[in-house]
Amino acid sequence: MAETHPTDPKRKLIAELVERYQEAALSYLAGRIGDPEAARDLCQSVVAAILESPKELSSLEHLRNYFFVALRNAAADLGRARGRSREVRLPEEDDLAGDPRSEPPEARLIAEEEVVAQRRRLAALEEAIRGLPEAERQLLRQRFWERRTFREIQESTGAPISTLKSREDAILRRLRKTLDAAEEMG
């Protein structure tokens, strides 16, 4: 009688996962990174990493959740490695115009009001950031515009990672409160 390898149940789960969710995973990754070939490579590397992982996987549902979180993280890592930033772009007036026959006037009015509200919120955020002390603006710049990790910031500043995380958390909480207050007033 042949001895079974301890990872056989895990391999069966992964084989079922790939069979059921490979197309969805590839579509998801291609949408996130914009390159179907790189999406296929990334998906394969995530599956290989899960196979090599000592993590116990109890069910297909658990594995599916773990798999898609791993895909999301891998796509984000690839984006950071490529130096891509995910900038938010507000719609331009041309984007809102569309074909007047394709949407009712009230839909355009609602969309335009939403754009105005978003622009107001963005202006309030910019003003709130300008009002921060230089050290706090610098931390936000390094984290969100330069996409630096806490470890990279620690290496350049000497501040402990836990302190950097606490500072960032406090800054973001204050900015949220400022934006919420501006929305209530405006």
pTM attached to this predicted model: 0.41
Q: Which of 47, 82, 117 is the last residue in one of the domains?
A: 82
Taking the C-alpha atoms of residue 168 and residue 173, their distance in angstroms, rounded to an integer, is: 9
pLDDT tens for each residue of 171-183 = 999 999 888 887 7
| Residue 158's CATH number | 1.10.10.10
Number of domain units in the chain:
2
Q: Give 104-134 pLDDT, tens digit per residue.
A: 555 555 667 777 777 888 888 888 999 999 9
The answer to whether 46 touches 74, Cβ cutoff 8 Å, is yes
| 12 and 73 belong to one structural domain | yes
Range of the domain at 164: 106-185
Q: Is residue 149 part of a domain?
A: yes
Which two three-digit tokens encode residue 142?
């390094």
Instruction: Give a yes or no: residue 33 inside a domain.
Output: yes
d(CA 158, CA 30): 38
Residue 92: both structure tokens together = 């331009």
pLDDT digits (tens, 9 = 90+) for 31-47: 888 888 888 998 899 88
> Final residue of a domain: which of 22, 50, 82?
82
Asked if residue 1 lies in contact with residue 19, where contact means CB atoms within 8 angstroms, the answer is no
